[in-house]
Structure 1
């Protein structure tokens, strides 16, 4: 009986150990994002976004990447490793089109998150939490 119990415990424990996701391309970028729909508690799939960089000097923005979120609310890295430079960047999330695709209207037609990269070697993650009438962002890890 104790042998069966030990085997059962060992099998249970080996099955419950979480494994790293098999998506290295999603995790290895120097700039990534993740969008969650807080109205449903689910990832925001199919949301269009773009990354631009502010040119120095002046106010000219240059588009660097355009993506759509996958079923998990994530997309391929916006800046692959080694491509980031120190400077000011803007992530624009097309929230009105996303909410319209779900049959809702949105108070915010888009969300722009402007941030500064001071250490290009550091991995940056910019999550966005959205609902039709609010949004929240923060510097993630």
Structure 2
């Protein structure tokens, strides 16, 4: 079975998927990588890595939350309470599906390992 890393971001202020939310992905260890940029689709989803590209290690997804919220007309203070949201996680089995949902509002967020 081939592994996969995917994300889904939900914008609770608008009640929709976070279409257009920009994020960066990078591997932290054991071999650090340069960040890769992604933009979420119309449903707020993206597949970040598949098959051999997903390897055991520690990763970071950085969601550019304030940029996204401002682009969608939300007035935020300067500096915003949540600017960029880093999610650090480990991949122990590169043949599994790792799904990282983000539930986003201007003043809070939650995440978990989805399926």
Following TM superposition, by how much is the alpha carbon of 1:80 offset from its aligned partner in structure 2, in angstroms? Answer: 1.6
**CA–CA distance in structure 2, aligned partners of residues 47 and 29 of structure 1:** 24
Q: Give the secondary structure class of the aligned counterpart of 2:68.
A: helix
- Structure with bigger helix share is 1
1:106-137 Cα deviation digits (max 9, x unpaired): 41001100000000111110000000111000
- Structure 2 match to 1:13: none
Equivalenced residues, count = 110
CA RMSD of aligned residues (A): 1.7
Aligned residue runs from structure 1 range 1-141, under 5 A: 30-56=4-30, 61-75=32-46, 77-104=47-74, 105=76, 106-141=80-115
Listed one character per residue, the Cα deviations across residues 31-88 of structure 1 (whole Å, up to 9, x for unaligned) are 000000012221111110011011338xxx423521101110012x211222211110
3-state DSSP of counterpart to 1:96: helix
Gaps of 5+ in 2: none
Q: TM-score, normalised by structure 2?
A: 0.87
Higher strand proportion (structure 1 or 2): 2
TM-score by length of 1: 0.72
Q: Is the 8 A contact 1:29 1:78 kept in 2?
A: no
Larger radius of gyration: 1
RCO greater where, 1 or 2, for CA within 8 Å and sep 6 or more? 2
